[in-house]
A = this chain, B = another copy of it.
């Protein structure tokens, strides 16, 4: 039985992508070679990297607008560090909306002064702070668009004259936006884009070159830009599978089509959470994430019964993160509406 995979990341990718990704392990592009054994300098792979970079910019509406797309290793956790290494000369402002923002702040503090403009820590990060001001004497402002663990999402982004940096690991390619208001976007692949092991970085080139410190080669965006993400051997397979997923997004109608389906899935689940007296949502309603829905049983004694129900229905990865408890349904792009219906059915069965 095929599973309904609600895993928070690494997570579900399109079935078509798995099929093609599996074939390429045995024979890539009819080359007689596995994608795992070809040189990253081969024409075949250089064209994979070029297309992936170009398609990422195209889907975000950022082509020919001064941006570069990079595929790097090390995950968003390495970006917490690279952002500060490359951009933080004196002071930066951070919005703290959860675990990942907190980690980003911790790393940045090694490089300069960090002002936390607001935090929702007082309520275990179940909302997005809204009224705060961003100082003018900063090198950049950093925020996290979607909080995988707490199930909140920024619906609006603050206006600032300074570079706007955003960790979009868990909602990139999921909703339409004017991405050109951001100067640096980064995202670990393992949600809406591909397998764990590569990180997409979208960077406006004119924000670079403004810090006085010497930056180690691997930490320098300029190094990676100058070598088109090939300064060192890239994560060949993770980039290839990301390309397959980006092609799938485009073929399905781009980010607009993803957003439409994501909203349907979110509406279906959140309506049931609000209707069903056995459940309650964790995140503040206006800040709910369509990517990660966090919810709890009102009476935890039903846990065993509910767990049995969804596991029997073939649902995977519904347990909440330890910081929140309860349940978390991650509904990334590749998850079908019918999978959400299966969870809703389980919730209704429990009620009966």
Contacting A10 at CB < 8 Å: which of B36, B194, B216? B36
A1-B32, A32-B3, A214-B110 known; A197-B236 Cβ under 8 A: yes
A26-B18, A190-B233, A197-B235 known; A216-B36 Cβ under 8 A: no
Whether B218 and A81, one on each chain, are in contact in the complex, defined by CB atoms closer than 8 angstroms, is: yes
* Interface flag for A183 (CB, 8 Å): no
A226–chain B nearest beta-carbon distance, Å: 14
Whether A5 and B33, one on each chain, are in contact in the complex, defined by CB atoms closer than 8 angstroms, is: yes
Whether A233 and B107, one on each chain, are in contact in the complex, defined by CB atoms closer than 8 angstroms, is: no
Whether A40 and B10, one on each chain, are in contact in the complex, defined by CB atoms closer than 8 angstroms, is: yes
User: What is the CA–CA distance of A40 and B11 in the complex, to the nearest angstrom?
Assistant: 10
A141–chain B nearest beta-carbon distance, Å: 21
Which of A196, A214, A314 has the most C-beta atoms of chain B within 10 angstroms of its own C-beta?
A196
A7 contact set on B, CB distance < 8 A: 37-39
How many identical subunits does the complex contain?
2
User: What is the CA–CA distance of A7 and B40 in the complex, to the nearest angstrom?
Assistant: 10
Which of A5, A9, A10, A12 has the most C-beta atoms of chain B within 10 angstroms of its own C-beta?
A10
Some 30 contacts from A to B, beta carbons below 8 A apart, are A3-B31, A3-B33, A7-B38, A10-B36, A10-B37, A10-B39, A10-B233, A11-B37, A13-B36, A18-B25, A22-B25, A22-B26, A73-B73, A73-B78, A74-B218, A74-B232, A76-B232, A81-B216, A81-B217, A103-B217, A107-B217, A107-B218, A110-B216, A196-B234, A196-B235, A196-B236, A197-B198, A197-B234, A197-B236, A238-B238
